Amino acid sequence: MSDGEYDVIIIGGGINGAACASSLTGLGYRILLLEERDFASGTTAASTKLIHGGLRYLETAITQLSPLDAGLVHEALQSREQLLREEPHLVKPMPFVLPVYRGDPRPGWYVRSGLLLYDLLSPRKVSPWHRSFTKAELRREEPSIETKGLRSAYLFWDAQVEMPERLCIEYLSEAREGGADVRNYSSVDFIIVHNGVVQGVDYHDVMSGERRSARARLILNAAGPWVDAVLQTTGQRMQQRIGATKGSHLVLNLEGRGPKQGILASAQSDGRLIFVVPWLDHHVVGTTDIRIEGDPGNLRPDPWEVDYLLAEASRVLPGVGVDREHLLYGYSGARPLPAGAQISEAAVTRRSFVVNHADEGVRGLFSLVGGKLTTARKLARTVSRTVQGELGRPPTSGRPHALPSRGTERVSFLAPEAQEGLRHRYGHRAADVAAYAGANTTLSERISPFHPDIGAQVVYAVEQEGARTVGDVLLRRTSVGLTYDLGRAAAPNVAGIMQTLLGWDDERAAQAVRDYEMELHRTFVVFDRGAGRPAPAVDEPHRFEAESGG
Ligand SMILES: Cc1cc2nc3c(=O)[nH]c(=O)nc-3n(C[C@H](O)[C@H](O)[C@H](O)COP(=O)(O)OP(=O)(O)OC[C@H]3O[C@@H](n4cnc5c(N)ncnc54)[C@H](O)[C@@H]3O)c2cc1C
């Protein structure tokens, strides 16, 4: 079946593909975005979730005398400030404590100079500048941190995007509102090339198996760590572009006893910088950096990575007594870094590139290599200029994005924690979500005892945000599956609502819950220890069976 003609087909619905879709649609191009799995389910979901300039990259810039990396830090700091201003419900300032201990590879003067430079590179920043802590102040502020052997300690500010998945969905919503055709579970099988010029793609719907094709003047390969696999579908000999490294994280349930600020410390065993960051109701510890060959999909932390991260977190937080009993789950992702660098993993540049494959005999094909959550918007602007250079200005001027409603008062009929939850997750779209509960009061009931999320969010996810599985709703449209019981109590409720919306029979709904459990184990190493000690339930959630509608 043919989908017709587009100006640009974007392959990959992670943060970079989504930002490009939003930007190009805003300019008036006809866009088709195809994502093999769910939006944001690749590297975008597997990050440390920081919106930062990257102190580590500043160190690389200085020690490797790399103006490219200095440029990246400056660019990322500008992007951080922009995101703090433009997406305040999703991107929030995050304070970090940086302790320096006797024997650390980075002495205090070195750290302090780095922090000063970091602040100077972002002169009009939203958050305060860094400052130093005395030992007594540190003990008062963060009693859980190790102070034995402490030489100095600093407080500096970066930012966090609690759910990069929602930032990605936000960009895709903008693209959709501008007229883009945005499809998940659509896997590109072939890039069609005729006489050295791209013509379009053949792809299939992963759920139904239906085969389709679409034509376009330009194809943008935004497949992250899968960029080389997508290039192979041209059937041409193409140069390898990605040299991926694996990074792993642990999610710990410290039951309210963890640090209130992020911690950035030198690992005792190898001197690498590691993070312990408050996240949702838990803490994330990361990360490792290991070169990988082969398929970058379905990565999970190896036992030694779990031991390493746990040991380093435990060393820096003796006041908590971090141990295996706190482990909820671990996750890993592949950094889509440029291929060919013969230096250490940490020193490979995090800068992004737009590669034009015309030099390799394929005109109209471009790939995105590298990049960060933080700089996706910036990369999208570069891509937009490239596309304008190739295709000229679009015949129609940019279709304005539909203006979303901003009547936050329209959520006031909901329970206060549900109102707060909606504003926090959806910003100016909160009233649109609440409208579903206004039309059907059963949808104002909570779907889980551990979260304020309500049934209306499930309907909104399916009808407005392309959710097709229980995992799409619990792991990437809401954070219900990312904390406490990993969304297991909510899964049957979500399946019940989806059953009504999508016309599933009982067996299909039961299978959807089983599929969710399988997805948890495919995506995470699930420890179920911290999960055994969830926060006390405030009240019992409503049981949605096949009764919900709207
Ligand atoms: C451990 C780790 C920590 C990180 N921490 C941070 C951080 O704190 N801050 C930050 O700014 N950045 C961070 N990053 C970097 C950032 O997460 C990535 O650079 C970014 O998410 C890449 O997004 P992407 O859209 O290019 O790739 P992805 O998110 O991987 O998206 C590519 C998509 O392409 C799809 N795809 C593949 N093949 C096909 C096909 N044939 N057809 C259709 N679709 C296809 C995939 O399913 C995937 O969803 C981190 C990365 C890692 C790995």
Nearest CA to 295 among 246, 250, 338, 331? Answer: 246
How far, in Å, CA of 283 to CA of 287, rounded? 13
Determine if residue 54 is left, alpha or beta; phi over 0 gives left, psi from -120 to 50 gives alpha, anything else beta: left
Q: Are strands 273-279 and 282-286 parallel, antiparallel or unpaired?
A: antiparallel
Is the distance from CB of 97 to CB of 145 less than 8 angstroms? Answer: yes
Cα 301 off chain centre by: 18
Q: Please list every protein residue whose CB sits less than 6 Å from any atom of ligand 1.
A: 11-17, 34-37, 41-44, 46-50, 187-188, 222-226, 230, 247, 287, 333-336, 368, 371-374
How far does residue 258's CA lie from ligand 1's centre (Å)? Answer: 28
Report d(CA 201, CA 232) in Å as an integer. 13
Instruction: Please give the model's pTM, rounded to 2 decimal places.
Output: 0.93
Residue 398 confidence (pLDDT): 53
Q: Would you state the pLDDT for residue 540?
A: 47
User: Separation of 201 CA from ligand 1 center, angstroms?
Assistant: 21
Residue 461's CB is within 10 A of a number of other CB atoms, namely 24
Q: Which helix (H) or strand (E) holds 265?
A: strand 262-266
Q: What gap in Å lies between CA 164 and CA 348, rounded to an integer?
A: 23
Number of Cα atoms under 13 Å in the Cβ half of residue 351: 20
- Centre of ligand 1 to C-alpha 102, Å, is 37
- Predicted confidence at residue 217, as pLDDT, reads 96
Whole-angstrom Cα distance, residue 314 to residue 335? 26
Most ligand 1 atoms within 8 A of CB, residue of 226, 273, 287, 369 to mutate: 226
pLDDT of residue 54: 81
Q: What is the pLDDT of residue 411?
A: 74
Which ligand 1 atom is the nearest neighbour of the CA of 49?
8
**Is-contact 53 41, C-beta < 8 A?**
no
Select from 34, 36, 37 the least CA-distant residue to 18. Answer: 34
Please name each of the domains of the chain with its CATH number. Answer: 2-44+165-239+349-391 (3.50.50.60), 91-160+244-346 (3.30.9.10), 408-532 (1.10.8.870)
Task: Please state, in angstroms and rounded to a whole number, the distance separating the CA atoms of residues 328 and 379.
Answer: 34
pLDDT at 58: 82
The alpha carbon dihedral of 44, 45, 48, 50 has a sign of positive
Q: What's the CA gap between 61 and 38, in Å, rounded?
A: 35
| Residue ranges in the chain modelled with pLDDT below 70 | 1-2, 65, 341-350, 395-410, 528-550
